[in-house]
Amino acid sequence: MSSTPHPVSPRPARYSGVAILLHWVLGIALIAIFGLGLYMTGLPFSPQRLKLYNWHKWAGVTILALSLLRLVWRATHRPPALPRAMEQAMPSWQKMAHHATHHLLYLLFFAVPLIGWAYSSAAGFPIVFLGLWQLPDFVPVSKELAEAIKPWHEISAFAMAGLVLLHVAAALKHQIIDRDGLLQRMLPGPR
């Protein structure tokens, strides 16, 4: 038996089809749930508002599950490296911003729905996913705890919205100003 190490397979030029699908589904879902959250909080108490809150919770649970799937996929499938010429041309602050934005987004993919779940549990409003399955309470019912948690769901959601905007702006800069083709790595289409 030879003890020579196996060569490391090169990173693909594009993200995998599964990574692309998860990226766009989560991106659209995050924009939709953020918009729904802004809309529903401005409504007066009504059956419509209660229905929208339930949809918001269901979407949050779905986003949490998809985020877990995305994290597992990312951990088991190497993403493509930045093209060498692009990485060499990027100032160090831009590389740091690129990595920090991605890491913070992944953190918030989990933090925002978990904080929302904790708030819902503390407020005494269980999550009944799709109206069929009651999820366990994340924390005990406590009015004081609910009041302490409530602003953190909003703060973390706005932080994620800001990072999503930054991510989109950076992608558009690469596409429109730099014209370096970076966005093509994440677009659906022929490989």
In this prediction the pTM is 0.86
Q: For the segment 53-101, what is each residue's pLDDT rounded down to a tens digit?
A: 999 999 999 999 999 999 999 999 988 888 787 788 888 998 899 899 9
Q: For the segment 119-147, what is each residue's pLDDT rounded down to a tens digit?
A: 999 999 999 999 899 999 989 999 999 99
Contact 90, 107 (CB under 8 A): no
The contacts of residue 55 (CB under 8 Å, 6+ apart) are 36
Q: For the segment 82-94, what is each residue's pLDDT rounded down to a tens digit?
A: 878 778 888 899 8
Backbone dihedral region for residue 90 (phi beyond 0: left; psi -120 to 50: alpha; all else: beta): beta
User: At residue 149, what is the residue type?
Assistant: I
Portion of the chain with pLDDT greater than 90, in percent: 69
Contact 146, 123 (CB under 8 A): yes
The contacts of residue 156 (CB under 8 Å, 6+ apart) are 108, 111, 112, 115
Q: How far apart are CA 48 and CA 60, in angstroms?
A: 18
**Measured in Å, how far apart are the chain's first and last C-alpha atoms?**
37
Contact 111, 156 (CB under 8 A): yes
Q: How far is CA 92 from CA 89, 98, 174, in A?
A: 9, 10, 16
The second-level CATH assignment, the architecture, of 17-78+90-186 is Up-down Bundle (1.20)
Q: How far apart are CA 191 and CA 188, in angstroms?
A: 8
